[in-house]
Amino acid sequence: MEITEAMLDAIEAVKGKRNAAYWDNRCKRYMEKQENIKNLTKDELELEGRKLGIELDKRKSKQKLIKEIENFSKKG
């Protein structure tokens, strides 16, 4: 299997290291979730943020809301 840049990003987010040898099902689930989050509306993103314990400002762009969720998910 060829490891793509997106896969390496997922490995780094889940494992903390950017090493192709660390690819596993947790990385795959993370990557799928990130792809799904991009299809959500601002209202749905707000609900996802609340599930994580953060309050999002829907006046911001959708891309910025997604970035906030991604950054918070990496920390936690």
Profile the chain (76 residues) by mean pLDDT over runs of 10 residues.
90 90 93 88 94 94 92 75
| Chain mean pLDDT for the chain | 90
Q: Which residues contact 63 (CB under 8 A, 6 or more apart)?
A: none
Tokens of 42: 């601002």
Percent of the chain topping pLDDT 90: 62
Tokens of 68: 């906030």
Q: Where are the domains of the chain?
A: 1-37, 44-76
